[in-house]
């Protein structure tokens, strides 16, 4: 309606509806605030990220599939959303980690609706609206994060609408299915092999469980050809591609759900090929060797996680995004040993085989976003790859 309750005059823009937003958790608590993004209702696992920057990369990280992401840093959206036309030398979007937003919902304390940055193409809220992702702002994200740290990761329902029935929303949380019980990786992998730099040699096959563009970028920057294959691609098919090395990528959910991937990795361990695992790939490698994994209380997500290299004693600040970890005791008798540990909770952050050119990191050596302190792991892997080829 226009002014004084009259219909809007020709050329006058009608007022946009004011959206409310609410997040209900399985413990019965509710967080009320303002809505942004797309008005709808979603459910998922509620997790938090401690990063201060890098929200375009985080939102497009496939490892967040099935989750409602909470940012602990209070101000989000101040530099807007860059254009996908900004690409690196390999044609990959420079500021995104996949081809779409992967989170189910987004929760922030303070949303900047008027960004300022030379690369900004549109505001964060507009981007979320275009990709049909609901957002909640104006809540005490510190209180929410403390609740998740004390009680552990919880399931939740996030709704953005003009009117919200809170009792109904709280009731729906009891019916939410844990996304980790499903096959999340199937929704983020490629459908068929994808070649990057096909003419290059040697060739590295990436088992795509939801690989970030940053991982592909680090491999391509080192002069190798890369082939991404689906997470359930058979062992024979991988070997037919004549690889000189294998990377098992990051990805969402419970690693034990990737039964076919684990079986394939078991076979790869018998080939003598160099293998590097990252994040979910670290867990899959351990499971393939006969070790075990478990779910962390609230996971590690952010760009400031300290990890200790047990061989040198050095501490590195790392980028992380995972809710599961390898059981250190279960590695006994597998041929693997712990190579990195988390300086905060002593959980396993990396494993290495005692005799074979096989290792993995639970953290993300490619950063994107985050520090590049551990990109040397890609150099270590490529030395093994070129040695295998040559």
State yes or no: is 329 an active-site residue. Answer: no
Determine the 3-state secondary structure of 68 from DSSP.
Answer: strand
φ and ψ at residue 274, rounded to 5 degrees: -65, 135
Using alpha carbons, select from 214, 21, 212 the residue that is nearest to residue 128: 21
Q: Which of 175, 170, 232 is nearest to 24 (CA)?
A: 170
Active site residue 300: no
Active-site residue 9, yes or no? no
Q: Specify the DSSP class assigned to residue 196.
A: E
Bridge partner list, 44:
156
Nearest to 93 by CA among 123, 67, 122, 119: 119
Q: Which residue carries 């996680």 as its tokens?
A: 305
Candidates 97, 353, 364, 384; catalytic one:
364
- Coil/strand/helix, residue 273: coil
| SS3 (DSSP) at 350 | strand
Rounded-to-integer distance, Cα 241 and Cα 31, Å: 51
For residue 294, what are the CA distances in angstroms to 149, 284, 327, 330? Answer: 17, 12, 7, 11
Q: Which of 45, 109, 218, 279 is catalytic?
A: 279
- Residue in 218, 349, 366, 384 annotated catalytic: 366
- The DSSP H or E segment spanning 214 is helix 213-220
CB atoms near residue 76 (< 10 Å): 21
Q: Are 203 and 242 in contact (CB under 8 A)?
A: yes
Q: Do the bridges between strand 336-342 and strand 293-309 make them parallel or antiparallel, or are there none, so unpaired?
A: antiparallel
Give the whole-angstrom CA distance, residue 224 versus residue 220. Answer: 6
Hey, which residues are catalytic here? 279, 364, 366
């Amino acid at each position: 309606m226009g002014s004084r309750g009259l219909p809007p005059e020709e050329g006058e823009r009608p007022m946009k509806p004011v959206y409310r937003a609410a997040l209900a958790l399985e413990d019965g608590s509710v967080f009320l605030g303002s809505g942004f993004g797309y008005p709808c209702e979603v459910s998922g696992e509620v997790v938090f990220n401690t990063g201060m920057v890098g929200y375009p990369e985080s939102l497009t990280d496939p490892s967040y599939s099935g989750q409602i992401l909470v940012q602990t840093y209070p101000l989000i959206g101040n530099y807007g959303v860059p254009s996908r036309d900004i690409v690196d030398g390999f044609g990959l979007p420079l500021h995104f980690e996949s081809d779409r937003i992967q989170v189910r919902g987004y929760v922030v304390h303070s949303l900047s609706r008027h960004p300022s940055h030379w690369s900004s193409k549109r505001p964060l809220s507009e981007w979320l609206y275009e990709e049909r992702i609901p957002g909640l702002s104006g809540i005490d994200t510190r209180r929410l994060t403390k609740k998740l740290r004390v009680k552990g990761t919880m399931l939740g329902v996030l709704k953005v609408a003009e009117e919200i029935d809170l009792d109904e929303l709280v009731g729906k949380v009891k019916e939410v299915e844990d996304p980790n019980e499903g096959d999340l990786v199937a929704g983020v992998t490629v459908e068929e092999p994808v070649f990057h730099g096909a003419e290059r040699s040697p060739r590295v096959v990436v088992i795509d469980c939801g690989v970030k563009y940053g991982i592909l970028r680090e491999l391509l920057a080192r002069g190798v050809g890369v082939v991404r294959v689906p997470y359930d691609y058979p062992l024979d098919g991988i070997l037919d591609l004549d690889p000189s090395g294998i990377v098992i990528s990051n990805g969402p959910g419970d690693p034990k759900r990737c039964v076919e991937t684990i079986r394939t990795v078991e076979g790869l361990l018998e080939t003598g090929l160099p293998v590097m695992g990252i994040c979910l790939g670290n867990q899959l490698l351990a499971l393939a060797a006969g070790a075990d994994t478990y779910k962390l209380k609230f996971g590690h997500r952010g760009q400031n996680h300290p990890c200790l290299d047990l061989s040198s004693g050095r501490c590195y600040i790392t980028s992380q995004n995972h809710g599961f970890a390898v059981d250190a005791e279960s590695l006994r008798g597998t041929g693997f040993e712990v190579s990195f540990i988390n300086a905060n909770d002593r959980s396993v952050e990396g494993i290495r085989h005692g005799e074979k050119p096989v290792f993995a990191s639970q953290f993300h050596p490619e950063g994107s976003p985050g520090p590049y302190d551990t990109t040397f792991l890609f150099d270590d892997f490529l030395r093994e790859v070129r040695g295998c080829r040559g």
